[in-house]
């Protein structure tokens, strides 16, 4: 059963165009020129109940615009969407009580009052029963270790502490659809891991559907089995991470570690004679090469037979490199 259904969703902005300088500014008062910017171009996808999906793309790809349309903050230029049976931009009360939009770069708690008072305000806004509020607050406090933070004004919290409190506050009404826009931006590695673990646990306990945008591939790899990739407002890929690698990467990475007392020849066992073998890293202790996928077994066998190998691994390229290659190839096209 699909919780989120999107069909031919499109958003076009009309923006003013003028050159710099006083003359151009005066001319714009008389005759204003504009141009259309296609932020989202007829994308379609479905997300099932309980699914966690990564929504990827470079800056300006249309990710946040799409999430804002699905959260009801923006009206689309054309197309249709349904989230939990609701049309998002109608913003009916039933829909607003069933979803949450969490943006890592936006403060949603009251700045000058203690965190717990912001939570009580949310309880009133969402009309959460006292018993439900208490049990959910206890659960979220335990999962995110918020006990020492609840009585502090938000302005006195560190970025990581504030982000934990923001996430908890947005989930007090237990939404069944959650849109996460860069939830770990600016956080240290330990706090990123804590937020990821919490999101996974919330999804497991409630069965909520989650759409996640992030420039940290660690977030995506830890939480999402499926990814949707968009670029310049167009949908490029919808499938699992392994499928993304298969589709957009034609190479594998072979890494070898040499024996401690090895004397490696300058020609590296003849590897330099092969145009399809790219040496990406080399030292006295080891070597990393990038080769076409269909050549990986032969190259690995040659390295084992001609080099003093202590250890060898064959891997798919890092997901960050694959994503970068996707966007670069699309820009060139």
Question: 162-215 pLDDT, tens per residue?
Answer: 888 999 999 999 999 999 998 888 888 888 888 899 999 999 999 999 999 988
Q: Would strands 309-315 and 251-258 be described as parallel, antiparallel, or unpaired? A: antiparallel
Q: What is the mean pLDDT of the chain?
A: 87
Under 8 Å between Cβ of 184 and 216? yes
For 2-9+45-245, give the CATH class.
alpha beta
Q: In the prediction, which pLDDT does 127 show? A: 93
Of the two residues 244 and 156, the one the predictor is more confident about is: 156
Of 2-11, 22-31, 104-113, 288-297, the range with the highest mean pLDDT is: 2-11
> When comparing pLDDT for 54 and 326, which is higher?
54
Please give the pLDDT value at position 2.
66
Can you give the pLDDT at residue 70? 96
To the nearest whole percent, how much of the chain has pLDDT over 90?
47
Evaluate if residue 325 carries a pLDDT over 80: no
Distance CA(113)–CA(231), nearest Å, equals 40
Are 76 and 126 in contact, with CB atoms under 8 Å apart? Answer: no
- The per-residue pLDDT for 1 is 56
User: pTM for the complete prediction?
Assistant: 0.80
Q: Map residue 218 onto helix, strand or coil.
A: helix
Mean pLDDT over residues 287-294, rounded?
Answer: 85
* Res. 332: pLDDT tops 70: no
| One-letter-per-residue 3-state SS of 86-116 | ECHHHCCHHHHCCEEEEECCCCCCCCCCEHH
* Percent of the chain whose pLDDT exceeds 70: 93
* pLDDT score, position 160: 86
Spatial distance between the Cα atoms of 57 and 232, rounded to a whole number of angstroms: 9
The closest alpha carbon to 313, from 326, 304, 323, belongs to 304
- Dihedrals phi, psi of 50, to nearest 5 degrees: 80, 5
Residue range(s) occupied by CATH 3.40.50.300 in the chain: 2-9+45-245
Residues of CATH 3.30.70.1150 domain(s) within the chain? 250-315
At residue 275, does pLDDT exceed 70? no
Note the CATH architecture for domain 250-315: 2-Layer Sandwich (3.30)
């Amino acid at each position: 059963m699909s919780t989120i259904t999107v069909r031919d969703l499109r958003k076009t902005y009309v923006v003013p165009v003028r050159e710099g300088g006083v003359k151009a500014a005066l001319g714009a008062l008389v005759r204003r020129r504009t141009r259309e910017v296609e932020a989202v171009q007829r994308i379609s996808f479905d997300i099932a109940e309980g699914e966690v999906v990564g929504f990827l793309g470079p800056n300006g790809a249309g990710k946040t615009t799409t999430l804002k349309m699905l959260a009801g903050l923006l009206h689309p230029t054309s197309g249709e969407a349904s989230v939990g049976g609701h049309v998002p931009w109608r913003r009916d009360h039933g829909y607003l009580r069933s979803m949450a939009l969490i943006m890592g770069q936006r403060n949603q708690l009251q700045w000058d009052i203690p965190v717990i008072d912001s939570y009580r305000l949310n309880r009133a806004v969402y009309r959460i029963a006292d018993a439900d509020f208490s049990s959910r607050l206890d659960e979220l406090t335990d999962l995110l270790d918020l006990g020492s933070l609840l009585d502090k004004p938000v302005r006195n919290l560190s970025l990581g502490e504030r982000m934990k409190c923001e996430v908890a506050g947005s989930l007090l009404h237990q939404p069944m659809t959650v849109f996460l826009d860069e939830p770990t931006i600016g956080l240290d590695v330990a706090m990123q891991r804590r937020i990821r673990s919490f999101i996974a646990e919330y999804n497991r306990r409630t069965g909520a559907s989650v759409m996640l945008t992030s420039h940290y591939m660690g977030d995506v790899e830890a939480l999402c089995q499926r990814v949707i990739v968009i670029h310049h407002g167009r949908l490029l890929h919808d499938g699992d991470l392994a499928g993304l690698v298969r589709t957009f990467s034609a190479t594998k990475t072979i890494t070898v570690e040499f024996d401690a007392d090895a004397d490696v020849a300058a020609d590296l066992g003849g590897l330099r004679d092969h145009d399809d073998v790219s040496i990406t890293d080399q030292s006295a202790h080891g070597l990393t090469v990038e080769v076409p996928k269909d050549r990986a077994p032969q190259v690995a066998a040659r390295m084992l037979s001609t080099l003093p190998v202590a250890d060898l691994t064959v891997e798919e390229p890092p997901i960050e490199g694959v994503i970068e290659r996707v966007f670069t190839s699309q820009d060139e096209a």
